[in-house]
Amino acid sequence: MYGAILGDIIGSPFEFDRGDKTKNFDLFSEGCCFTDDSVMTIAVGEALLAVEPEAAVKEIEDAVASNMQDWGKRYPHAGYGGSFRHWLRENNPKPYGSYGNGSAMRVSAAGWLYDSIERTREVARATANVTHNHPEGIKGAEATASAIYMARNGSSKEEIKIKNELFFCHEKCIIIVTNLRSVLLWQVEFMQKSKREY
């Protein structure tokens, strides 16, 4: 979690900068501060430590949602997005279908706390589901937690990249191949029909 929080603080002056990708900058400058990502990383980590390692998904979701609301109310000006600010004030908060990166930004504890990649992904899904229940929001949390899990278990950067691409891009690849197959079949059918007509 130190890495996630330090990265958040160091990167905070550049959060909305989509330009220069230089690595030549002061680590800590006047504009550095923690953001909503650090607050929610701590909230999720604390919630996961409070439940049993084998807790049911619903118990994890309830603990995460409650803790996120508590921490969000303690730090109301940390830079939350509009939908999330509304979610923080709800008495009975419901997920709002976000596919943004918030679920990935807060999930690091899930990558550290569990003994299997399957449990890591299950818990990552649970932490995402409380707000970011869109498939892409969930996938972002799972991919991030998986990368942390694999790194702490000795996988190289290249292995992590390949495994995450294979696991999380698999769905898209199936869709692409299915669509490509349909297009090719249509082309073959069209060509055969054209030959018969001439």
Stretch 4-10: mean pLDDT: 90
What was the pLDDT predicted at 184? 57
Percent of the chain with pLDDT over 90: 60
What was the pLDDT predicted at 188? 59
What was the pLDDT predicted at 30? 87
What was the pLDDT predicted at 42? 98
What was the pLDDT predicted at 195? 63
What is the full DSSP assignment across 37-101?
HHHHHHHHHHHHHHS-TT--HHHHHHHHHHHHHHHHHHSTTS---HHHHHHHH-SS-------SS
What was the pLDDT predicted at 36? 95
Domains of the chain from N-terminus onward: 2-155 (1.10.4080.10)
Stretch 150-171: mean pLDDT: 85
The band of 183, judged by pLDDT with boundaries at 50, 70 and 90, is low
**Predicted structure pTM score:** 0.82
What was the pLDDT predicted at 107? 96
pLDDT at residue 172 tops 80: no
Stretch 185-191: mean pLDDT: 59
What was the pLDDT predicted at 109? 96
Q: What are phi and psi of 132, to 5 degrees?
A: -95, 65
> For the segment 122-154, what is each residue's pLDDT rounded down to a tens digit?
999 999 999 999 998 999 999 999 999 999 999
Stretch 63-85: mean pLDDT: 96
Structure tokens at 49: 């430590």
Torsional sign, CA 140, 111, 3, 75: positive
What does the mean pLDDT of the chain come to?
A: 87
Q: Which residue has the higher pLDDT, 100 or 65?
A: 65
Binding-site members are 35-37
In angstroms, the Cα distances linking 187 to 138, 176, 178, 190 are 36, 16, 14, 5
Give me the torsion for CA of 12, 13, 16, 17, rounded to 10°: -130
What was the pLDDT predicted at 170? 62
The band of 65, judged by pLDDT with boundaries at 50, 70 and 90, is very high
What was the pLDDT predicted at 139? 92
What was the pLDDT predicted at 3? 86
Binding-site members for Mg(2+) are 35-37
Answer for the pair 138, 101: CB distance below 8 angstroms, yes or no.
no
Nearest-angstrom CA–CA distance, 174 and 177: 5
